[in-house]
Structure 1
Amino acid sequence: MNDHTLTQVDPAQVRALRAFNRFYTQRTGLLDPYLGSAFSLTEVRVLYELAHHAPCTATDLGRRLLLDAGYLSRIVRRFSDAGWLTRTPSPADARQLSLSLTPEGRAAFEPLQQRSREAAARLLAPLAQARRDALIAALDKAQALLSPEAANPSHTAVLRDVRAGDMGWVVQQHGEIYAREYGWNSEFEALVAEIVARMIRQHDPHRERGWIAELDGERVGSVFVVRKSEAEAQLRLLILSPTARGLGLGARLTDECLAFARARGYRKMVLWTNSNLSAARAIYAQRGFALVHSEPHHSYGKDLVGETWELAL
């Protein structure tokens, strides 16, 4: 990582992360001797690895814990002098020694592990179950985002049918994304809510369908085909969360709509959009949709140009 990459990070986000680090270390006492023992946090981490992943070499420990070799060597020597470690030639490389905890080493570690469990339980105990669940989910998310794999993620994307609760999410996503990215006011969210309510009340399961896109188990997109007439289907509410863009999901959602409309015997698909929604317009154009009408309008607090697109099926 070079200096130019670092300068691209928002300073406000840097301050927020540092503030959380200060808060968390203060709440958990990580800057003090670990849980009232004579050990530092790093020494306890070494003991933990030896208790749960031994036998292993010092090289394995250093790689797993991202520790300086000299610093780790001093910790290993101290534990060995205390009679907490055994050293045997590594089966994989006779030039290295495999390290394991002795019974005395495990006896030294177990009280620390129990105190750590109790400290975590004390942090969680005052929280209601729903808040505990939310906290653990947030920690899982943070760990996933900060893992080395996050820089080159391998995502699992699926398109599925609409389930209970999805339509409320569709309204929320339209309200949040269009306000944040285009500055549209709450009139747009109200419009989407009206469209969604009408779609639910008037749903024709044979001639209408919706899809929700999920990425790694989280909702990230939607699209719907609704009946406009016996011959015409309408594509509605195509949206993607920012985290899902660039993966081809918008195209996949649109293709599902086209395949469904053709299978149900529609002869034309129509849609209405705005001229500033360039990513969506590109998807439509690539699939043969043609712009047949445009008209300026003032809506959602902005001057816009509405567009009608059509595709013969």
Structure 2
Amino acid sequence: MNKRPIQTKITVTVPNRLHMFTTRSLFNVNNMTGGAGISIESNQKMSISVDENTSNNETPSLVLDYFCEVLKKKIGFQGGIHVSYTNVLHKHCGFGTTVSQICALCIAINYLYGDSISSTDIRRLIMEHYREEVGNKLVRGLETGVGPACSLYGGINYVTNSESLVHLEVPEQISVITFIPQETSFNRYISYEEEFGHRFKSYQADEESLEVRTDLLYRKYIPALLKMDWSELGSITEKLHTMGLKRFECERFNYVYEIKMIDYLLESGALIAGLSSLGPLNYFLIEDDKINYVERVLRDEGYALQWKQFQISKTGVRILNKED
């Protein structure tokens, strides 16, 4: 079977994600997936065209080329796919650049071929086949499910696997600020094998905190998320940086300065502050009318931060040129 597209060209805009923490607890002790994340509007676009007269793909990366073949097999078509995409954010520092591109590709191709894959199946597909590009090699990566959820739905998302999800739409007057401290370097890529090993060690070393994490996540964090209780969300997110995988990451990369910044940002008026994914990207959520105040406080204390301000995405991936 060679399925035909409903149109041959499409452009989508895709948000990036900030990965707040993983959700390992007593309810998913052996699960390597799950977490919470924030979807940010980075205004990055992907243009895609399909050609039924060829089977060759033209993409800017091995990862996208790989997922073109995954999608062909999943949907059932044999045409060639041309992808144009420009990334303007730092790679491998916490923005989720790879998973955002993958999700944009999946949404676009799925639309071109009649939306035959559900959003849940797209999340599952990405998690199952996730890859990263290291040099000229394609290696298996580890995707918690946070990236696809943020790319698909926008807002703040709490996921435990490819299906369970709690979603929060954030008020317009709240923005996200990100920065990479000058004391750190980025591009710290961790292979799947290394990451699996590190996570396994961190899980072994953190058994004593499972009960505490379970209480924080299920009895406090989810209710606070549903009520949009920023004080509670900020406090719990900060605590989760001191246990489990996030603590292990901070110790492994010696993120002393970054963790101190979390405390300082919360004291200065941030609603939530944290370290995204493996870092070293710091982020904080703040009400727009307090941004200048926090910037002044930080400057007075000697923190000359070069930060970027983002709006929180409301919709996730958006299709820009649907044909009626």
* Structure number having the greater helix percentage: 1
The TM-score, its normalising length taken from structure 2, stands at: 0.22
| Structure having the higher Rg | 1
**Highest RCO, 1 vs 2 (Cα 8 Å, sep ≥ 6):** 2
The TM-score, its normalising length taken from structure 1, stands at: 0.23
